[in-house]
Chains A and B, each alone.
Chain A
Amino acid sequence: MDGKVLEIIEKHRNDDSKLLAILHDVQNEFGYIPEDAIKTIAKELGMKKGEVYDAASFYSFFKFEPEGKHEVMICDCIVCHIKGSERIIERIEKEFGVKMGETTKDGKFTFKVVEGLGHCESSPVMMLDGKIYGDLTPEKAMEILRGCE
């Protein structure tokens, strides 16, 4: 693992804004930010391990434990809320037997509620592995999720 992390750090060596970029790449590589990676980053950037973790843990999209294969973010901002996001959340929780923020037992999905995906023209929306799906109904959301490998 160390080699890959060092490679990522090297890639950003000349950036002025390094830390967020490195953390993003590490997370893309491993699916989360492992503790060993934090150690390596700290050493290479001349920071304390606690300093790296302190900064990283501030941001809600950095993960420190492995999660499900697919990341599903359901928007519950004001606009999605008045357009029925709660019904979608209820349906998913019921069908998959999980609460928002949890991963399904088979490790396939991690569900999260977020507060603004910035696609209010097609509210209610969800983001599945970085892709936006809009004008959702509970049925349509379930259909999209069932279609996931």
Chain B
Amino acid sequence: MLLLKDARNVEDYLAQGGFKALRKALEFGQDEIIKEVETSGLLGRGGAAFPTGLKMKFVRKERKTPKYIVANADEGEPGTFKDRVLMERNPYQILEGMIISAYAIGAKKGFFYIRYEYKEIAKDIERKIEELRRLGILGPSIYGSKFSFDIEVVLGAGAYVCGEETALMESIEGKRGFPRIKPPYPAQYGLWGKPTLINNVETLANIPVVMSMGGANYSRLGKEGCSGPKLFSVSGFVKNPGVYEANLGEKTIGEMIELTGGVEGEFKGLMIGGGAAGFILNEEYLDMPLCFKDAKERGLFLGTGDIIVFNESVNIWDILLNIAKFFEHESCGQCFPCRYGTKRMREIIEKIVRGEGRKEDIEKLNATARAMKIASLCPLGASAMLAYESAMKNFREELMGVIQ
């Protein structure tokens, strides 16, 4: 395992070759590190799958200072828990990736933003940061080099939208977590208006892997153009739910479910793409390789890499109502299409679940979904209907069966 190692304390991490990648990186030029990451083909693991090297390059070339780096551990998608497990089992690799990235872009200060539900982990990360300061791996002149860097832990307070990068930055600045209009992107205008690199914690944990084996070798892990190890959160009706690691493109969805011991009960369907902001799929998708590219070819996203398995006991309208309630509650209220659209979707679906759904309701749902997709300010509103739309495609008969 390259990510899911068991290295909960610093002695274990060092014994497993920890911080060697950082020492190697400190001998590299900053642009050389970014070049390695670009060559590796590493794509962001937080959901958007943006090329990590390119993002680093954007921040690196900005003239404004200071520059900041942010680790995004605001893992809020239902069915997604891989960041939590990674922080519990291999936290130093995330911190090492953060230090290397900070050095590469020229940041002296970093923020580690963790959701409130993980406050015990936040305390642990804080202790580990203090420990690394004592060891000279954080703070002034790291490993005796000219590079100084420190990290501040920020605990969220229960807002799903703060996983969106610009909302997260507003939150760090001590404001409401309202997403900003992009562009400008965080690389130009991030924390306090300064160039900021923001990466998911799993993305950061991949950086030491890239540095250790070299970008070219990393790019050969898994599939061409979709490389490297990825964590998958598998939950729902499977025998052994948990976090599993596989190289991208190496396993199909069906094989991943088998790896967890198979389905509990009779397979009905599944969700991928990041919990609520995901797709409801049927058995036709079981042979899809778990890879960003394969998902894209089918009009899907792999998102955070979660798989929620449904058996015969699951009712699809019931799932859609749960998701609609989720989005209604989590809409930040800043833009109208999302604020009103999520409420309307919940009301209509509730009516259908009560057994009072009519054809016009489906038309209204479709119109609402379209409007939200076109006009929402941030990905929250634009993704709220993905589950509904995909379910309509893959479980049409069941869904329309209750409509008068």
Contacts and interface: CB of A to CB of B under 8 A. Distances in A.
Interface of A: 15-21, 23-24, 54-55, 58-62, 76-79, 81-83, 114-123, 127, 130
Interface string B75-117: 1111111001000000000000000000000000101000111
B176 A123 contact: no
A118 B326 contact: no
A79 B78 contact: yes
Contacts of A17: 111, 152, 154, 172-174
A77 B79 contact: yes
Contacts of B118: 118
A20 B155 contact: yes
B94 to A, nearest CB: 16
Interface stretch (B129-137, B232-240, B373-381, B388-396): B232-240
Given A78-B79, A121-B235, 9 more contacts: A19-B174, A24-B155, A77-B322, A78-B323, A79-B235, A116-B160, A118-B76, A118-B80, A130-B119
B146 interface: no
A55 B275 contact: no
Interface stretch (B8-16, B209-217, B306-314, B342-350): B306-314
B159 interface: yes
Interface string B308-349: 101001100011001101100110100000000000000000
14 contacts: A15-B152, A20-B155, A20-B156, A24-B157, A54-B176, A58-B177, A77-B79, A77-B322, A78-B276, A78-B323, A78-B326, A120-B81, A120-B235, A120-B236
B271 interface: yes
Interface residues of B, number: 54
Interface string B54-89: 000000000000000000000111111100100000
A118 B75 contact: yes
A123 B80 CA distance: 12
A39 to B, nearest CB: 17
Contact of B175 (A15, A23, A55, A83): A55
Contacts of B233: 120
Find the residue from B111, B177, B326 having the highest chain A CB count within 10 A: B326
Nearest to A84: B313
Given A115-B330, A118-B75, A81 B322 contact: yes
Given A17-B154, A19-B174, A76-B322, A121 B117 contact: no
Contacts of A59: 116, 156-159, 177
Find the residue from A24, A116, A123 having the highest chain B CB count within 10 A: A116
B225 interface: no
A20 B174 contact: yes
Contact of A121 (B158, B176, B241, B326): B241
A78 B119 contact: no
Given A61-B158, A78-B275, A118 B172 contact: no
B243 interface: yes
B52 interface: no
Contacts of B203: none
B236 A79 contact: yes
Nearest to B173: A17
B120 interface: yes
B106 to A, nearest CB: 17
A55 to B, nearest CB: 5
Find the residue from B77, B111, B177, B235 having the highest chain A CB count within 10 A: B235
B242 interface: yes
Find the residue from A19, A20, A120, A121 having the highest chain B CB count within 10 A: A120
